[in-house]
């Protein structure tokens, strides 16, 4: 079977101590290829921002899905990531024929799905999803930095850096911190 609508999915935000996990689903248009797609972690912020706009303009379809901090704490980060992916696919205006998921697990989807380890580096649709998810989550963290000043979220995007751990010690746990994650959990129990 020739797959006409191939959708790539990737998520961002499994490791941070704060904020949602965000997934993107992208169906690229084979008639309008996008030069420079790559794993979002290998691109500069400027490159990601430029590609974000191109993907949004040229893709046949794209959408975002997310799982909030409360869902991450209730389900665990893996299940929350899969839920965000399901939501991203559900939000697409058209159902793809095949979904390629970055990683080694696929969420339950209403269409054929395949896990592709390292897919964000080798599958253009997954690379595009990686970029949309990363830019979207980074933008959210900039906004959260304004709402919760002092944690340095704009700089570390919620990851457990030394500066973030020190800010948690100094300021305490905010409503956007994941209570089930070790460093946050320990602070809440002390």
Whether residue 152 contacts residue 145, with contact meaning beta carbons closer than 8 Å, is answered with yes
Q: Strand 61-67 relative to strand 112-116: parallel, antiparallel, unpaired?
A: unpaired
Of 125, 129, 169, which is closest to residue 17 (Cα–Cα)? 169
Distance from C-alpha of 91 to C-alpha of 85, rounded to nearest angstrom: 10
C-alpha span between 5 and 125 (Å, rounded)? 10
Helix (H, G, I), strand (E, B) or coil at 118: coil
Contacts of 108 (CB under 8 A, 6+ apart): 82, 86
pLDDT of residue 178: 98
How close are the terminal C-alpha atoms of the chain, in Å? 58
Please tell me the distance from the alpha carbon of residue 27 to that of residue 48, in angstroms, as a whole number.
18
What pLDDT does residue 190 have? 85
- Residue by residue, pLDDT tens for the chain (190 residues) are 455 899 999 999 999 999 999 999 999 999 999 999 998 999 999 999 999 999 999 999 999 999 999 999 999 999 999 999 999 999 999 999 999 999 999 999 999 999 999 999 999 999 999 999 999 999 999 999 999 999 999 999 999 999 999 999 999 999 999 999 999 999 999 8
CA distance 166 to 179: 17
The strand pair at 112-116 and 98-102 is best described as parallel
Residue environment code for 86-123, b if the CB has 16+ CB neighbours within 10 A, otherwise e: bbbbeebeeebebbbbbbeebbebeeebeebeebbbeb
- Domains of the chain, CATH where assigned: 6-189 (3.30.420.10)
Q: Which 3 state secondary structure label does DSSP give 120?
A: helix
């Amino acid at each position: 079977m020739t797959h006409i609508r191939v959708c790539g999915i990737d998520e961002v935000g499994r490791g941070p101590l704060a904020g949602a996990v965000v997934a993107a689903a992208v169906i690229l248009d084979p008639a309008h290829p996008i030069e420079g797609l790559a794993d979002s972690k290998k691109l500069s912020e400027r490159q990601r921002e430029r590609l974000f706009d191109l993907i949004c303009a040229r893709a046949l379809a794209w959408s975002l899905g997310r799982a909030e901090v409360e869902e991450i704490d209730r389900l665990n980060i893996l299940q929350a990531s899969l839920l965000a992916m399901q939501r991203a696919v559900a939000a697409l205006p058209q159902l793809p024929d095949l979904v390629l998921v970055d990683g080694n697990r696929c969420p339950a989807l209403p269409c054929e799905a395949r896990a592709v380890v390292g897919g964000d580096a080798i599958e253009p649709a997954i690379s595009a999803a990686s970029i949309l998810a990363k830019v979207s989550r980074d933008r959210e963290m900039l906004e959260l930095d304004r709402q919760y000043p002092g944690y340095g979220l704009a700089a570390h995007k919620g990851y457990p850096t030394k500066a973030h751990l020190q800010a948690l010690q100094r300021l305490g746990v905010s409503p956007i911190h994941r209570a089930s994650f070790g460093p946050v959990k320990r602070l809440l129990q002390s």
